Structure 1
């Protein structure tokens, strides 16, 4: 029998065949996930001497963003509520980035006094702020969940906390020749409505509606702040990071259920971005030189994207600003 005929008659052992099939399937699924997650931001923009604050930077998108900016030699402040987890994140970021200028600072976005204490300390430590990334967020919080100042949790953390933090840091942001603010929003803003008669959801609470309202508030804040800063060195933009597997879903009972874990998550996994993938457009809007003079925009996958009609309502943006000033005691 010839060698060629022997090869044709050769039967691959079943364990080898099954193993190869599984490996090929896994590889294919990983390729789909990498493709669905979008391109990586690989431009090396040196950040030597730049000072950065990132809220909610102990996990998820915030942590990955902090790591990438630390690799570019920025001085990074991780503004977090949980100091134990913040220190653990800092240790990993320093180790991987080889940048020792990464610091943990207590900042609870659900407490106006905590925000003010954070800013007071930062003002004593730094002369300027180059980049502020308002990343921290909550979603689907329980009905009776309130901030320490009595605000509905999603509105309080996602919008009001960052509204106060940003305004208190504006003087530091005006020091550099060019500085940036990045507000994380979401495609959920398209379902959002600013409920002027019950902004704090005191009369009726719907977790999804409250979340969508808070994400719409992020964009209205971005646009109104951009208008107010048009004659300054500060640019401000909003970002939708995509559907990302982060701790933002921690309050959703279905997401944590055995049904979702076993039957749904494995099929969705290739199409859900990792935290690192979700951070890419955030990094782009924070440091890319092409956006030095671009402000008041909304980005998704590196592209400027249209917002809902409600997000273009200047009157509502001004109304929300006035209410936010009063509620955070800025006015």
Structure 2
């Protein structure tokens, strides 16, 4: 027994040196990092999934910016559920290519491209008129298209491009289609926003569409999306029309083409480590479009297929009403 104890103690002394402490520490750090990466992957890539199986046969959907990114993935998912899907896109060639691709993948012949340039209010009016003349109903309007602008680009009306496209174009489109949505009730309006809204500010005294830089301009337009949703939900209350805003997550989409050059050079690394695929990023939009029982959440903000709290500025009644009033003037709706 004494000999056995001696051997055991000797073995322990052999493993009790500084080099083995470092090995043990390295193993612990590696395991911890692996667990953290696995948790991150689950939360970012797996957990936020729309699990609703609702069909959309007989329903008509409009999706802006549906020729690429999460817009196209949303269109693909809703077409698979039997919806008639209108791809409202600026580029005819890319829109028709997306139409063919989605039809082939889903077998749904009810997928159609219609040209819509949100940077031109005249184009928005023409689209809305053509749609209303051709289609009997509109069940879901998904305001998905978005741009980031460095301040150099303007809309046809002279407004800063991010604000003009992300907010004003969709504001005008929604209002022109509102009667169609009401007559097709229960219906939904879904505005794709972003957590970037928290950096946004609306300065009505100095103008709300001036050049304030790439990030701030984008954040301002995303704040406008939330305030628009907040006010719209009140305006359509009792009409069986629901309005939702959402954050899709940080997505690896073509919007990277609007990044600064130095950021674009890091795009592959950023995409691999931090960004969702378009399929993963479309899940919350799909959830807001098809999930049952969401009417009680009209006006709310979704992230990860769940309702989220928003900063006080995004639910400011006075600010939302003022933005609505100013947006009516900027789109000429007060004179129509």
Q: How high is the TM-score relative to the length of structure 2?
A: 0.85
* Cα distance, 1:191 vs structure 2: 1.0
Residue 333 of structure 2 corresponds to 330
The aligned counterpart of 2:140 is 131
CA distance in 1, matches of 2:117, 2:58: 27
Tell me, in whole angstroms, the C-alpha distance in 1 between the residues paired with 2:82 and 2:139.
Answer: 13
Alignment: residue pair count = 298
Ranges in structure 1 where 5+ consecutive residues have no aligned partner: 1-27
The correspondence for 1:197, drawn from 177, 197, 205, is 205
SS at match of 1:148: coil
Corresponding position of 1:3: none
Which residue number in structure 1 is paired with residue 19 of structure 2? none
How do 1:12-161 and structure 2 match up within 5 A?
33=41, 35-37=43-45, 38-139=47-148, 141-161=149-169
1:244 to 239, 251, 264: 251
Gaps of 5+ in 2: 1-35
The answer to whether the 8 Å contact 2:49/2:305 transfers is no
Q: d(CA) in 2 for partners of 1:30 and 1:95?
A: 35
The correspondence for 2:224, drawn from 217, 224, 234, is 217
Q: Does 1:309 find its partner at 2:316?
A: no
1:44 is displaced (CA, Å) by: 1.6
User: Which whole-Å CA distance do the structure 1 matches of 2:75 and 2:39 have between them?
Assistant: 26
Q: Distance in 2 between matches of 1:295 and 1:77?
A: 23
- Among candidates 308, 319, 323, match of residue 322 of structure 2: 319
2:285 corresponds to 1:277: no
Aligned-residue offset at 1:143: 2.1
**Change in 2 beyond 3 A, CA 1:89/1:143:** same
Q: What is the distance in 2 between the residues matched to 1:94 and 1:30?
A: 36
- Asked if structure 1 preserves the Cα contact closer than 8 Å seen for 2:163 and 2:209, the reply is no
Deviation at 1:293, TM superposition (A): 3.5
Over 3 Å counting, the alpha-carbon distance change for 1:214 and 1:199 in structure 2 is farther
* TM-score (norm: length of structure 1): 0.86
For 1:136 and 1:285, how far apart are their aligned partners in 2? 16
User: Bigger radius of gyration, 1 or 2?
Assistant: 2
